[in-house]
Amino acid sequence: MSKLTLDRILHTQGFGTRKRCRDLINSGEMIIAGSVFDDSNTAIETDGLEFTVFDQPWIFRERVYIALHKPANFECSRKPSHHPGVLTILPDQFTLRDVQPVGRLDHDTTGLLLMSDDGAFIHTQSSPKHHVPKVYVATTHDPVTHELIALLLAGVKLHDEPAPLAAETCRMIDENHLEIVLEQGKYHQVKRMLAAAGNHCTALNRSQIGNLKLDELGLAAGEWCYLDAQQLALLKPPFTI
């Protein structure tokens, strides 16, 4: 457990500069256990701390781990260029505490997106060296064939890639849908692999990362949730995709 002053607590949770946080506290905006705390220099334990600011309840979190059901037409960038950024879906506090997407989904790709302010976690989940599998469901322009599946499993050559890239697993769902599992996370990888194999991806959804499944989180498009320790454990090996 650790003690922090109230202004430091609000600052670490993304409520603004230390001065801004002191002003909020000194004006009586911070409530803990039903009581107003208006001395920003008061130090309290942060373990399990719950507080309210602007009538909004918060739980102190040293780091945040978030799952978002990304809708279409949002960019996974802190500086989006053509569409709103995914951070606009979350409360402003997350931008101020430097929450970032873990990897990227194309603006038109939907599904499970992780977000965090934990740099080590972001690196582990993003790096191909850690072999975290991602499961995608692709909608294809042309019918899925056994030959297409075989090509994706054997590996296809992409422009600017030194060696062919292959799916970890790949299976037909129905005539125009296939499930493909990748570990590399290259730029537009699913779409480019399908194009190289002679088909075209018309829609793409990421349904799973590691053993964390979007449908088990119960999130509709545009909804998000904090990940607890049990859910975070699903992102670590061994994987049973």
- CA distance linking residue 82 with residue 73, whole number of Å: 9
- CA distance linking residue 120 with residue 48, whole number of Å: 23
DSSP-derived secondary structure for 40-95: TT-EEE-TT-EEEETTEEEE--SS-EEEEEEPSS-BSSSS-SSS-BGGGGS-HHHH
Instruction: Specify the CATH class of 65-128+212-233 in words.
Output: alpha beta
Residue by residue, pLDDT tens for the chain (241 residues) are: 589 999 999 999 999 999 999 999 999 999 999 999 999 999 999 999 999 999 999 999 999 999 999 999 999 987 778 899 999 999 999 999 999 999 889 999 999 999 999 999 999 998 877 889 999 999 999 999 999 999 999 999 998 888 999 999 999 999 999 999 999 888 899 999 999 999 999 999 999 999 999 999 999 999 999 999 999 999 988 887 6
pTM assigned to the model: 0.92
Catalytic, 106? Answer: yes
Per-residue pLDDT, 1? 56
Answer whether 3-59 and 65-128+212-233 agree in fold: no
User: CATH second-level architecture of 3-59?
Assistant: Roll (3.10)
SS3 164: coil
Residue linked to tokens 């989940």: 125
Instruction: Specify the CATH class of 133-209 in words.
Output: alpha beta
* Domains of the chain, residue spans: 3-59, 65-128+212-233, 133-209
Residue 67: phi and psi, rounded to 5, are -110, 130
Annotated active-site residue in 23, 38, 106, 118: 106
